[in-house]
Amino acid sequence: MKSFKTLGYIAIVVLGLFLTAYLYSVFIKPTSYGSANTIGMMILGLVLGGIIVFLIVKLLSKKTSEISAESSHTVVESMRKVFKIVCAEGQFQEIYNYEKTRKLFKFIPSTKKALVIVKAKVLVGYDFEKCQWEMDEEKKQLKIVSFPEPEILSLEPDFKYYYFEEDLFNFINREDLEKIQVQAKKQVEEAVMQSGLRKLASEQMRTVLTEMVTANRWSITNPEMLTLPVQTATTKETKQD
């Protein structure tokens, strides 16, 4: 449709030029005495003005007739009740360097690189669906049978690409970008596990539960279950070493 409209405008302009030339040769062309026809000049001005006004109106109507339509459809896949408590929040910034090399014709190396800075907001807490405890209402005592370790409840990364280096036959495509985001997010998760954020969440949970139980004149028989074992923080470091 756009091409037909363009051809129509071109045809109008060409016809206008022919009409102008015709009117000029009939009415405006100087006579043998060197004078021009005044009425012919007025008619030519009116014709040219009409053509210009017509084109302006068409262009304005084309701009105003553009209609943008937007629609969205939200589908709720699942809903369920959860009992999760956030005990610690951390801001992390990681630098992820991506590099991939392949060989053209099995001997010409071709490398692509990318430098990504990931800023992430991390929430660490507990999923109380994994907790198990026993209550003695007569003695008002609470015994913890099983208490989970603090885990990452939410990780919201923000990716900023600062550097790209591509080769002529080795471009960074969408698959590479998806891989970069996945690997960079894993790197942030590893940094969270090695940081003191989980320990901070453990101390916060122990304080909150102890105060709640004490306020109701109860007691916890084994509060050491709320403490994050030191081994969980050191085993991952020894594995990497």
Instruction: Report the share of the chain in percent with pLDDT over 90.
Output: 20
Whether residue 79 lies inside any domain: the answer is no
Q: Residue 92: pLDDT above 90?
A: yes
11 and 110 co-located in one domain: no
143 and 231 co-located in one domain: yes
Structure tokens at 59: 């262009």
Whether residue 71 lies inside any domain: the answer is no
Residue 100, pLDDT score: 81
Whether residue 50 lies inside any domain: the answer is yes
Whether residue 70 lies inside any domain: the answer is no
Question: Average of pLDDT values for 18-34?
Answer: 57
In angstroms, how far is CA 239 from the centroid of its own chain? 34
222 and 150 co-located in one domain: yes
Whether residue 103 lies inside any domain: the answer is yes
142 and 224 co-located in one domain: yes
The pLDDT confidence band at residue 102, using thresholds 50, 70 and 90, is confident
222 and 103 co-located in one domain: yes
Whether residue 95 lies inside any domain: the answer is yes
pTM, whole model, 2 decimals? Answer: 0.61
219 and 120 co-located in one domain: yes
45 and 137 co-located in one domain: no
22 and 128 co-located in one domain: no
Give the domain extent around 145.
84-240
105 sits in the region (left: phi over 0; alpha: psi -120 to 50; else beta) called: left
Q: Which residues of 165-192 are buried (b: 16+ CB within 10 A; e: fewer)?
A: eebeebebeeebeeebeeebbebbbebb
Question: Average of pLDDT values for 158-184?
Answer: 82
Q: Residue 180: pLDDT above 80?
A: yes
Whether residue 171 lies inside any domain: the answer is yes
How many domains would you assign to the chain?
2
133 and 211 co-located in one domain: yes
